[in-house]
C-alpha cells in the first residue's frame, strides 16, 4: 500500500484507543500485521507532552504512527491539532478529521476541504476522512490530498459498507489514488468486502479494540484483509442473472439448450 | 519490625492497616498536609464492582475484588451492598447484551425491574442489569476511617512528610506513592470527576450508563450528593478539568435523569491514576523496598489483595521476588 510515496507491506491500519490495556494493544498490533497505527492527539495530552508514556508504548510496537485530528469540530481546531501532531510525532502525515455532526460523527466536507488546503500549503501530507461523495473527493484532490479515506459507515457503528455503489464509483473515479475505507467496519467480512472492491487498505479501531478478544480479532482482520485483496487481484467473477454450470452437462436432459451456446 | 509506608492514598493506608493488624510497627508518611490532597483515591468512585470491571479488565480482578467487599465492610462505615445497576437508553440498549456477555453475568432487568430497584428511574430505562453481589462506599469516609483504625492499632501517621524510599528509615519501606513514584513502566491515566448535589432525585446504588463512546457512572454519596465519573485519558496532565470532559460528564448525568439539570456543581476535579502496561497492579520487592504500584482504576477494589501480598512478602517470608496481583 502506497502512502505519499512510501510503501507499506500491510493494507490494514489500526487505531490505538480504547484497548483494555497497552499490553493488549501491543499484542493486537502484532497480530494484525499492521504497519501503520493511528494516534489521536488530545490537546491536553499534547501540552507538556503529557501523553508521552502512551506514545512511547506505541512507538515500541515498531510501527509507523499516523496522528489524527479525531474529535476536532472546526477547521481551526483541526489545523492546530495537526501542527501539534507534527511536532510531537515528527511526521508530516496527518489523518484529517473535521467532524460536522456530533451524533453521527459525519465529516464536515466543507471544513475538510478548507483544512486540507491550509495543511497542504503548510507541507502536510493529508489523509482525509471523508464520505463517498465524489464532488468532495474532487475538491480534496484539488486541495492537494492524495489519500482519500471514505467512511464505510459512521465511526464506531460497526455497520460495514453502507453504500457499496458509492464506494465502487469512487474507486472507478480515482483509479490511481490511494483509497482506504475508514470507519464503520465491524466484522472481518466488512474488511474483505472493501478490499474486494479494490480499495488499497482498511482502517479500523473499535472493531478490534472493543472486541471480547482484541488480539484474536486483530488476527481475523489480518486474514480478512489479505483474503479480500487476493480476491480482488485474482479478477473475480461478476454476478450474473443466469446460472452457469462449472462442469459441462452435455448428455443430460437440457432445457432451452443454454449450455450449448 | 519497623515498617515505613510512603503515601497515604488508598494503597498506602490499606497496606499500613494490614501490616498493623498483623502486629508490625508501622509509620505512614504522606507528603501532603491533609488526607486526600493529591491522592487519586480521594477522587475515586468507590465502587466495589468486580464483575462490572471485568467487562474491560482482566477476569482475574473478580476474586480479589469480591474479597475486597468483605475487607472494607469489616473495617469502615458506609459500605453499601445493594449491587450495581447497569442501564442503557434508547438506541444504545444493544450495549446491555454486550456488557452482560463480557462481564459474565448480571440479572437482566426490564423497565419494571429497574423501577423496582430505583423508583426514580421509573419509565426512563427499559433494559438493564443488576449485579447484586457488588457494593460501594464513600472513599473519603473510608480513608478517614482507615487513618483512625491505623492509629488505634498503634500505627503512626505523619502528614507533610515527603520521604524518598531509598533513604527512608525502617527495616522495610513500602512505596505506595502512586503516580508520584518513578517506577519503570508506570504511566498516568488521567481521570476527571464531578460531585453534584440535588434533593430532587434519590438513588440507592451506583448506576452505570452504557454508551458506546462515553460510558459513565453515578454513585450516590448520601445527603443529596452524587459523584459522576470518570474520564480515562492517556495523559500525565495534572491540570484541572477540561470543559469537554465536564460537558460529557454533565450530559451523562442529565441523560440518566433530567433532574440533574438543577443540581449544584459542588466539586470538579481531575486526578492521575497510576497504571502499568497490563493495567493490573503489581507488588514487587527490591532489597528492603517493597512497591505496591499500578492500581489504575482499581484502588479500592484491589488494594486489600495487594496489601495482603505485600504483608506476606514482608512478614510471611515469602521468597518470591515478584508477585503479580
Range from A33-37, A197-201, A247-251 carrying the lowest mean pLDDT: A247-251
Average pLDDT over residues B11-39: 95
| A212–B235 C-beta distance less than 8 A | no
pLDDT at A258: 53
Could you say which DSSP state residue B217 is in?
E
Residue (of A31, A74, A54, A37) closest to B234 by Cα position: A54
Does A212 touch chain B if contact means CB atoms closer than 8 Å? Answer: yes
| Binding site as annotated, residues of A for 1-deoxy-D-xylulose 5-phosphate | 156, 183-184, 205-206
Does A35 participate in catalysis according to the annotation? no
What's the gap in Å between the CA of B323 and the closest CA on chain A?
18
Q: Is the CB of residue B217 less than 8 Å from the CB of residue B45?
A: yes
Report the range of poorest mean pLDDT among A37-51, A52-66, B257-271, B275-289.
Answer: A37-51
Q: Are B235 and A50 inside 8 Å of each other by CB?
A: yes
Q: What is the pLDDT of residue B39?
A: 92
pLDDT of B319 reads 44
Q: Dihedral, CA atoms, A168, A172, A176, A180, nearest 10 degrees?
A: -10
The Cα B244–Cα B218 span in angstroms is 18
- Beta-carbon contacts of residue A252 (< 8 Å; ≥ 6 apart): none
Min mean pLDDT across A72-76, A170-174, A223-227, B63-67 is at A72-76
Grid coordinates of A221: 482482520
% of chain A exceeding 90 in pLDDT: 69
Q: Locate the chain B residue with the closest alpha carbon to A53.
A: B187
pLDDT at position A249 over 90: no
Measured between CA atoms, the residue of chain A closest to residue B236 is: A50
Q: Is B214 on the interface with A (CB under 8 A)?
A: no
B293-317: average pLDDT? 93
Rounded distance, CA A223 to CA A32, Å?
8
Average pLDDT over residues B94-110: 88
| Interface mutation vs chain B, best among A23, A59, A159, A217, most B CBs within 10 Å | A23
The mean per-residue pLDDT over the stretch B277-290 comes to 94
With cut-offs at 50, 70 and 90, classify the pLDDT of residue A46.
low
Residues within 8 A of B (CB atoms), A 86-115 only: none
Q: Per-residue DSSP letters for B8-21?
A: -SHHHHHHHHHHHH
For residue A187, the 8-state DSSP code is S
Q: In CATH, what is the architecture of B2-46+138-184+277-315?
A: 3-Layer(bba) Sandwich (3.50)
Give which of A216, A149, A152 is closest to A179, Cα–Cα. A149
**pLDDT given at position B117:** 96
**Residue from A101, A117, A211 nearest A151 by CA:** A101
pLDDT at position B260 is: 93
Is pLDDT of B322 > 50?
Answer: no
Find out whether B89 and B150 touch, Cβ atoms under 8 Å: no
Average pLDDT over residues B43-61: 92
Average pLDDT over residues A191-198: 96
**Catalytic residue, candidates A11, A86, A95, A171:** A95
The reported pLDDT for the residue numbered B58 is 86
Tell me which H or E stretch contains A183. none
Region B153-176: mean pLDDT is: 94
pLDDT one-digit tens code per residue, B233-270: 888 888 899 998 999 899 889 989 999 999 999 999 99
Question: Is a pLDDT exceeding 90 seen at residue A71?
Answer: no
Tell me the three cell numbers of residue A77.
481546531
Measured between alpha carbons, how far is B212 from A128 in angstroms, rounded to an integer? 24
Q: Which of B139, B257, B123, B244 is nearest to B198 (CA)?
A: B257
* pLDDT exceeds 90 at position B46: yes
Q: Residues B93, B97, B102, B106: is their CA dihedral positive or negative?
A: positive
- Is 0.90 topped by the overall pTM? no
pLDDT confidence of residue B69: 97
Reference A224, options A208, A206, A235; nearest CA is A208
Residues of chain B found within 8 Å of residue A156, distances taken between Cβ atoms: 212-213
Considering only CB atoms, B234 lies closest to which of A47, A51, A212, namely A51
Residue B294, sorted as left (phi over 0), alpha (psi -120 to 50) or beta, turns out to be left
Classify each residue of B182-216 as buried b or exposed e, where b means 16 or more C-beta atoms within 10 Å of its C-beta.
Answer: ebeebbbbbbbbbbbebeebebebbbbbbbbeebb
Q: Does B279 touch chain A (CB under 8 A)?
A: yes
3 state SS of A67: strand
User: What is B84-132+187-274's CATH superfamily?
Assistant: D-Amino Acid Oxidase, subunit A, domain 2 (3.30.9.10)
Q: Which of B57, B190, B213 has its CB closest to that of A156?
A: B213
Q: What is the pLDDT of residue B93?
A: 84
Cell numbers placing B271: 486526578
Angle between helices A188-196 and A214-233 (to 10 degrees): 20
Query: Of all helices (H) and strands (E), which one includes residue B133?
Result: none
Residue of A20, A47, A206 with shortest CB distance to B279:
A20
> For A137-154, what is the mean pLDDT?
95
Distance CA B73, CA B62 (A): 17
Q: Is the pLDDT assigned to residue A173 strictly greater than 90?
A: yes
User: Domain ranges in chain B?
Assistant: 2-46+138-184+277-315, 84-132+187-274
Q: What is the pLDDT of residue A261?
A: 45
pLDDT at B56 over 60: yes
Mean pLDDT of the region B74-101: 91
Tell me which chain B residue has its CA closest to the CA of residue A209. Answer: B56
The H or E element that residue A105 is part of is none
Pairwise CA distance, residues A178 & A143, whole Å: 15
**Using the beta-carbon criterion (under 8 Å), do A21 and B102 form an inter-chain contact?**
no
pLDDT category of residue B323 using cuts at 50, 70 and 90: very low
Q: Please give the ipTM for the structure prediction.
A: 0.77
Task: Name the more confident of B136 and A84.
Answer: B136
Q: CA A106 to CA A205: how far, in whole Å?
A: 16
Any idea what the Cα angle at residue B76 is, between residues B71 and B82, rounded to 5°?
A: 75
> Closest Cα to residue B212, out of B298, B124, B96?
B96
Structural domains of chain A, with CATH: 11-232 (3.20.20.70)
Binary contact (A21, B213; C-beta < 8 A): no
Predicted local distance difference test score (pLDDT) of residue B105: 76
* A72 neighbors A98 (Cβ within 8 angstroms): yes
Start-to-end CA distance of chain B, whole Å, equals 24
In this prediction, what percent of chain B has a pLDDT beyond 90?
78
Round to whole Å and give the CA distance between A96 and B164. 46
Before B230, cis peptide (omega within 30)?
A: yes
Say yes or no: A30 contacts chain B, CB-CB below 8 A. Answer: no
Residues B191-214: pLDDT tens digits? 999 999 999 999 999 999 997 767
Going by pLDDT thresholds of 50, 70 and 90, the confidence category of residue B316 is: confident
Residue numbers in A near B190 (CB within 8 A): 44, 50
pLDDT at residue B70 in the model: 97
Q: What is the per-residue pLDDT for A29?
A: 95
Provide mean pLDDT across the span B93-101: 88
pLDDT value at position A240?
A: 80
Q: Which residues are registered as beta bridge partners of B324?
A: B282
State residue B321's pLDDT score: 45
C-alpha cell at B36: 486526600
Q: Check residue A53 and give its pLDDT.
A: 82
Does this chain's domain B2-46+138-184+277-315 share its CATH topology with B84-132+187-274? no
Which range is least confidently modeled, A196-205, B276-285, B316-325? B316-325
Cα–Cα–Cα angle for A242, A243, A249, rounded to 5 degrees: 130
Query: Which of B190, B233, B278 lies closest to A21 in CB terms?
Result: B278
Whole-number pLDDT of residue B74: 97
pLDDT on residue B230: 85
Q: What is the pLDDT of residue A256?
A: 54
Give the side-chain half-sphere CA count within 13 A for B264. Answer: 7
DSSP A47-91: GGGTTHHHHHHHHHTTSEEEEE-TT--SHHHHHHHHHHHHHHH--
B101 with A212: Cβ contact below 8 A: yes
Amino acid at each position: 500500500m502506497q502512502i505519499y510515496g512510501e510503501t507499506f507491506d500491510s493494507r490494514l491500519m489500526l487505531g490505538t484507543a480504547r484497548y483494555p490495556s497497552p499490553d493488549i494493544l501491543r499484542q493486537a498490533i502484532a497480530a494484525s500485521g499492521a504497519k501503520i497505527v493511528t494516534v489521536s492527539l488530545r490537546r491536553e495530552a499534547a501540552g507538556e507532552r503529557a501523553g508521552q508514556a502512551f506514545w512511547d508504548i506505541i512507538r515500541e510496537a515498531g510501527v509507523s504512527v499516523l496522528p489524527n485530528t479525531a474529535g476536532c469540530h472546526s477547521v481551526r481546531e483541526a489545523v492546530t491539532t495537526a501542527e501539534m501532531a507534527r511536532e510531537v510525532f515528527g511526521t508530516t502525515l496527518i489523518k484529517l478529521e473535521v467532524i460536522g455532526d456530533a451524533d453521527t460523527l459525519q465529516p464536515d466536507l466543507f471544513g475538510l476541504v478548507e483544512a486540507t488546503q491550509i495543511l497542504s500549503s503548510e507541507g502536510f501530507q493529508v489523509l482525509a476522512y471523508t464520505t463517498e461523495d465524489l464532488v468532495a473527493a474532487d475538491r480534496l484532490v484539488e486541495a492537494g490530498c492524495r489519500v482519500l479515506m471514505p467512511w464505510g459507515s459512521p465511526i464506531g457503528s460497526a455497520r460495514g459498507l453502507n453504500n457499496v455503489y458509492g464506494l465502487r464509483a469512487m474507486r472507478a473515479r480515482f483509479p490511481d489514488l490511494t483509497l482506504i475505507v475508514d470507519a464503520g467496519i465491524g466484522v472481518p467480512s466488512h474488511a474483505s468486502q472493501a478490499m474486494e472492491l479494490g480499495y488499497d487498505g482498511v482502517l479500523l479501531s473499535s472493531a478490534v479494540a472493543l472486541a471480547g478478544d482484541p488480539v484474536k480479532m486483530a488476527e481475523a482482520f489480518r486474514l480478512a484483509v489479505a483474503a479480500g485483496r487476493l480476491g480482488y487481484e485474482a479478477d473475480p467473477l461478476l454476478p450474473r442473472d443466469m446460472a452457469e454450470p462449472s462442469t459441462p452437462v452435455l448428455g443430460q436432459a437440457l432445457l432451452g439448450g443454454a449450455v450449448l451456446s | 519490625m519497623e515498617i515505613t509506608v510512603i503515601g497515604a492514598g488508598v494503597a498506602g493506608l490499606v497496606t499500613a492497616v494490614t501490616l498493623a493488624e498483623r502486629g508490625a510497627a508501622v509509620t505512614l508518611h504522606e507528603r501532603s498536609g491533609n488526607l486526600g490532597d493529591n491522592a487519586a483515591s480521594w477522587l475515586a468512585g468507590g465502587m466495589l464492582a468486580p464483575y462490572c470491571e471485568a467487562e474491560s479488565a482482566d477476569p482475574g480482578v473478580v476474586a480479589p475484588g469480591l474479597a475486597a467487599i468483605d475487607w472494607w465492610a469489616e473495617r469502615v462505615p458506609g459500605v453499601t451492598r445493594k449491587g450495581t445497576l447497569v442501564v442503557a437508553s434508547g438506541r444504545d440498549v444493544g450495549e446491555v447484551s454486550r456488557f452482560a456477555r463480557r462481564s459474565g453475568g448480571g440479572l437482566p432487568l426490564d423497565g419494571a425491574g429497574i423501577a423496582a430497584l430505583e423508583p426514580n428511574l421509573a419509565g426512563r430505562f427499559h433494559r438493564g442489569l443488576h449485579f447484586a453481589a457488588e457494593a460501594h462506599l464513600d472513599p473519603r469516609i473510608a480513608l478517614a476511617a482507615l487513618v483512625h483504625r491505623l492509629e488505634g492499632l498503634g500505627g503512626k501517621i505523619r502528614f507533610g512528610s515527603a520521604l524518598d524510599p531509598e533513604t527512608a528509615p525502617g527495616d522495610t519501606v513500602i512505596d505506595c506513592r502512586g503516580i508520584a513514584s518513578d517506577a519503570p513502566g508506570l504511566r498516568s491515566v488521567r481521570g476527571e470527576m464531578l460531585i453534584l448535589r440535588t434533593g430532587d432525585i434519590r438513588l440507592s446504588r451506583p448506576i452505570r450508563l452504557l454508551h458506546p463512546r462515553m460510558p459513565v457512572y453515578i454513585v450516590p454519596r448520601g445527603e443529596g450528593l452524587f459523584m459522576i465519573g470518570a474520564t480515562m485519558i492517556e495523559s500525565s496532565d495534572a491540570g484541572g478539568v477540561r470543559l469537554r470532559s465536564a460537558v460529557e460528564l454533565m450530559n451523562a448525568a442529565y441523560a440518566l435523569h433530567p433532574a440533574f439539570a438543577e443540581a449544584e456543581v459542588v466539586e470538579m476535579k481531575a486526578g492521575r491514576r497510576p497504571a502499568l502496561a497490563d493495567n493490573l497492579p503489581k507488588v514487587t520487592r527490591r532489597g528492603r523496598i517493597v512497591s505496591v504500584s499500578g492500581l489504575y482504576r482499581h484502588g479500592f477494589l484491589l488494594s486489600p489483595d495487594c496489601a495482603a501480598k505485600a504483608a506476606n512478602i514482608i512478614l510471611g517470608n515469602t521468597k518470591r521476588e515478584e508477585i503479580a496481583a
